[in-house]
């Protein structure tokens, strides 16, 4: 089995780092979270107000 030259390891490392960065970038920006709608929430108060 022939040995790989160090420049080959460097190009492999740079290639895999680039692929990792592109993959993370694509998956991060492809997810669009749903914005919370605060108008639908109604604040209900407890009918038993204890005055200590």
Mean pLDDT of the chain: 80
pLDDT confidence of residue 14:
95
- Return the pLDDT at 22: 96
Q: List alpha helices for the chain, DSSP H.
A: 6-30
The pLDDT of 4-33, averaged and rounded, is 89
pLDDT digits (tens, 9 = 90+) for 26-48: 999 888 878 777 666 666 676 77
In angstroms, the Cα distances linking 32 to 13, 29, 41 are 31, 7, 22
pTM for the model: 0.52
């Amino acid at each position: 089995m022939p040995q790989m030259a160090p420049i080959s390891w460097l190009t492999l490392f740079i290639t895999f780092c680039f692929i990792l960065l592109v993959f993370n970038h694509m998956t991060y920006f492809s997810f669009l979270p749903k914005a919370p709608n605060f108008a639908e929430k109604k604040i209900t108060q407890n009918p038993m107000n204890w005055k200590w």
